[in-house]
Structure 1
Amino acid sequence: MNDNSLVTPGERQKRIRDIFVDHRNHQQAIQALNHFYMPVEGGIHSRGSVCALIGPSRTGKSFAANDIVAAHEPRVGQDGIKRPVLLVDCPIEGGPRGILDSIADALELTVSSRMTNANLINVILRELRRAEVEFVIFDEAQELFPEKNKRILAFARGLLRKMLNLNRFNIACIGLPETYSIIAEDPQLLGRGGLEHKHLSPYDWNDEHDRKHFRAMCHKFDLEMPFEKSGFSATDFAYRLFQASGGCIGHLKNYLIDAGNRAIKDGSNQVELRHFADAFDARRRPGEIFNPFRVSQG
């Protein structure tokens, strides 16, 4: 039994929130991004190509990108900060200027709102060279390529081509599955390396290996939770967690956090099915009846 009597509720909540469990999708995402960046360990970085890491929401793509950035932190050079890996968080809206501002923010450039887009592009290109950027990652890249807005779509494609023309780094676009086809429709971008890509998928309970990996991941979470072990990896419990999460690590973590908070609140020694059931009810769509944590799995 875990002795949590000396741990405050807030500390236990933070422990749950901060749990990181390594898993197959995360490893695959890290391997793909490392390969896009530097295909030979101890060798030189690739340049001039666009690549893609795609998959449904909450499959671990952005988490992997942050890990890559953390592994290649900025350093101080003679003429300023050098940034081996640049992570750009794509804006939801804002058009061409929003895209440029997001890149400028990642480069920590101070830019006047009166500067024209053309001048800002030149400033960004100069800074990419000066900062010796070796790898650029665009997260939520589907926002760069809105199919219904041809103007922004054309601008984003043209901007990526200009950046690749520097021939100093590869660009990785992280996004939803449709990101691949939108990039591939541009023959000039497709020609920059052939669009190497990695597609992450949610875990599939009907696949024996996926099921094994998912149950192992549930077991790791169970070990890290500040409670007595609850048996998350048992076939019945793990299947319920799979049904709720759809096999996506991000959705699974959401349920673990909420159910854990509910267990802390009522002083339980374990995180029980009823805690998950309440967490699922709180997220159930209007009119939806099914709750995997309340029905018999027999």
Structure 2
Amino acid sequence: MTDVTLATPGERQQRISDIFVDHPNHQQATKALQRFYMPVEGGIPSRGSICALIGQSRTGKSFAANDIVAAHKPRVGQDGVKRPVLLIDCPIEGGTRGILDSIADALDLTVSSRLTNANLIGVILRELRRAKIEFVIFDEAQELFPEKNKKILSFARGLLRKMLNLSQFNIVCIGLPETYSVIAEDPQLFGRGGLEHKHLSPYDWNNMVDQKNFRALCHKFDVEMPFENSGFGAQDFAYRLFLASGGCIGHLKNYLIDAGNRAIADASLQVELRHFADAYDARKRPGETFNPFRASSI
């Protein structure tokens, strides 16, 4: 631990927010994305297939996508920027035009609002070729496939088929578990590679391997926090953290940030159960009485 007396409160807050701890779920997600992109190390990118990385919210899917993008940075060619990996953040609204605009934004295209959807699709396909895209990632892909809106669902499926027809790259859809079934229901998409996928699950306390990994993860966070070690990895403390987070890394980080801020605010040398208890009380549902950090026996 860095001497906390040398850091301002703001610096300590930033340090907590910036903590990254590698862990098995993150490794699995990154490995799956790398396999979807380039199945043989030192080989060539796979092309023409659609894949999926699915799982409950906050299990680390998007973090892994950002890692892949960071590892394959754009480069400047003679006719403009070349992008090995294209990350598209799917819009939550905007309909079919919103989908196209999100792809155009990822490609840094400036397009007129007067351009028709059909013409914009042509512009996008040409830019995908010119920029030599090797791998396309749609994050929050469940937004592409709203089952209650058949028009957008049909449009999105058709657009992905057109992109795959370029035979230039694989597409991976990152989203909630239902993303897999919505894609698989389209035989034309499913036929593009058989829909290889990876399903990320939260850590399961009843699984001894998961429990060991979760406790190790908690301990690593403890070591990185700008405080004296608090014993996050101890079985009792880790179990309380598991109950609060449901085994999801994103939820765990939320509690660590809030509890850490509370500990900084009251000049505590450690992040204590009371700090987590207050953080949990601030988030529990109306009418909920149980707090895993206050319960004397769990």
Task: Give the alignment's TM-score, normalised by structure 1.
Answer: 0.99
Contact 1:91 1:98 (C-alpha < 8 Å) held by counterparts: yes
**Residue correspondence of structure 1 range 1-298 to structure 2 within 5 A:** 3-297=3-297
SS in 1 for 2:180: helix
For residue 297 of structure 1, report the CA deviation from its aligned partner. 2.7
Deviation (angstroms), 1:97: 0.2
Separation in 1, partners of 2:61, 2:140: 9
User: Any idea what SS the aligned residue of 1:5 has?
Assistant: helix
Cα distance in 2 for partners of 1:56, 1:204 equals 13
**1: distance between equivalents of 2:96 and 2:168?**
23
Residue by residue over 1:93-112, the C-alpha shift from the partner in whole angstroms, topping out at 9 and shown as x without a partner, is 00000000000000000000
The letter for the 2-side match of 1:228 is E
CA separation in 2, counterparts of 1:73 and 1:104? 18
Q: Distance in 2 between matches of 1:252 and 1:47?
A: 37
Q: 1:36 touches 1:172 (CA, 8 Å); kept in 2?
A: yes
What is the CA RMSD across the aligned residues, in angstroms? 0.7
Measure, in 2, the Cα distance between the counterparts of 1:108 and 1:3.
43
In the alignment, residue 95 of structure 1 is paired with which amino acid? Answer: G
Task: Look up the SS of the partner of 2:4 in the other structure.
Answer: coil
Q: Residue deviations 1:209-241, cap 9 Å, x none? A: 000000000000000000000000000000000
SS at match of 2:231: coil
Measure, in 2, the Cα distance between the counterparts of 1:297 and 1:170.
Answer: 50
Instruction: Give SS of 2:174's match.
Output: strand
Partners of 2:286 and 2:71 in 1: CA distance? 43
Distance 1:193 1:18 in 2: 38
d(CA) in 1 for partners of 2:249, 2:34: 21
Once the two structures are aligned, what percentage of the paired residues are identical? Answer: 83
Residue type of the alignment partner of 1:121:
I
Stretches of structure 2 that go unaligned for 5 or more consecutive residues are: none
Q: Which residues of structure 1 form unaligned runs of 5+?
A: none
Residue type of the partner of 2:236?
A: D
Distance, in Å, in 1 between the alignment partners of 2:171 and 2:265 is 46
Output one character per residue of 1:68-127: Cα deviation in whole Å (capped at 9) or x when no partner.
000000001110000000000000000000000000000000000000000000000000
CA distances 1:168-198 after superposition (whole Å, capped 9, x unpaired)? 0000000000000000000000000000000
Question: Could you report, residue by residue, the CA deviation over 1:247-277 in whole angstroms, capped at 9, with x for unpaired residues?
Answer: 0000000000000000000000000000000
User: d(CA) in 1 for partners of 2:242 and 2:266?
Assistant: 25
- For the 8 Å contact 1:236–1:297, the answer to whether it is kept is no
Compute the displacement of 1:3 (Å).
2.9
Runs ≥4 residues deviating over 6 A: none
Distance of 2:157 and 2:2 partners within structure 1: 54
Deviation at 1:2, TM superposition (A): 5.6
The whole-number CA distance in structure 1 between the counterparts of 2:2 and 2:50 is 49
CA–CA distance in structure 1, aligned partners of residues 4 and 160 of structure 2: 52
SS at match of 1:81: strand
Rounded to whole Å, the distance in 2 between the matches of 1:80 and 1:267 is 52
Question: Cα deviations across residues 143-175 of structure 1 (Å, max 9, x unaligned)?
Answer: 000000000000000000000000000000000
- Using the TM superposition, give the Cα deviation of residue 296 of structure 1 relative to its aligned residue in structure 2, in angstroms: 1.6
Deviation at 1:5, TM superposition (A): 1.5
Q: Give, in whole Å, the separation in 2 of the partners of 1:135 and 1:56.
A: 23
